[in-house]
Structure 1
Amino acid sequence: MAAICGPHLLKVGAPNRLQFQHSGNVLKSMSTTMGIIEYGTDVTIGIRNETPLNCYSLSLPVTGEQELVTPSGRLVSDPDTGVIVSPEDTQELTIAGNCRKLQVAITRAAMRQVLQELLQRPVEQALIFDPGMDAASGRQAAWSGTC
């Protein structure tokens, strides 16, 4: 995952039970990786400002739960609520051992380029999304149907 998302800390409560699995596709033309990921045991992924991620990570549990803690609060993510991890934020994502999730990783450069094209001007500030994503209703619910 470090090759896809960039540097991050991985804390595993029971290392002998770790059964990391990732199956997905890299869409190079879009600088995007999509796939299903699971760890098989409780893990915590830590992201720090001094070593930011290379991408924005959108994830939605198909089963189980995960919890994102940022300086602005705590968000529980389940099959109805996805999370968006912005690369510049310090945060921790705790993933339950029974969590199997759809993950989409989009590089920071690609996200910035698309935004600049939409706005038709350069973007100087960091792009930080609200971390919660309602996956049960509205337009955003459509992407979860790909699992």
Structure 2
Amino acid sequence: MTTTSMKTENTVWHNQQISKEQRAELKQQKPALLWYTGLSGSGKSTVANAVDALLFKLGCHSYLLDGDNVRHGLNGDLGFSDEARIENIRRISEVAKLFLDAGLIVSTAFISPFASDRALAKAKLEEGEFIEVFIDTPISVCEQRDPKGLYKKA
């Protein structure tokens, strides 16, 4: 598995002719990352989808990266150990940064249980670009919803 300590050798970063600022100016918006976090079943995806739909309606260029959807492709090789969860968030934070560099407003909906992982995601971005939104739903409500059957297994 790829880890956060992985370094790519024999590669050089190539600067692009068009900057993030130019892309944002063209789109007439400020790139931002809305990082939704909370328990399974808390409503992260529901809230993130509603906000993304509102941004779209307002004419914003946005994209939603949902935890379950990303695990069908990019992160399909990862399990749910602590190490795999850390790698899941590392990859997502890299993808989100690329989208911000393209001038988009990005929403992510992931459990992301480790504060250190969220801090690393924030550190990749410029000041004011990372907005963490904790969906604070009582565990009793999450247990009632339990869309994945996780609470029954516990």
TM superposition score normalised by structure 1: 0.25
Which structure would you say has the larger Rg? 2
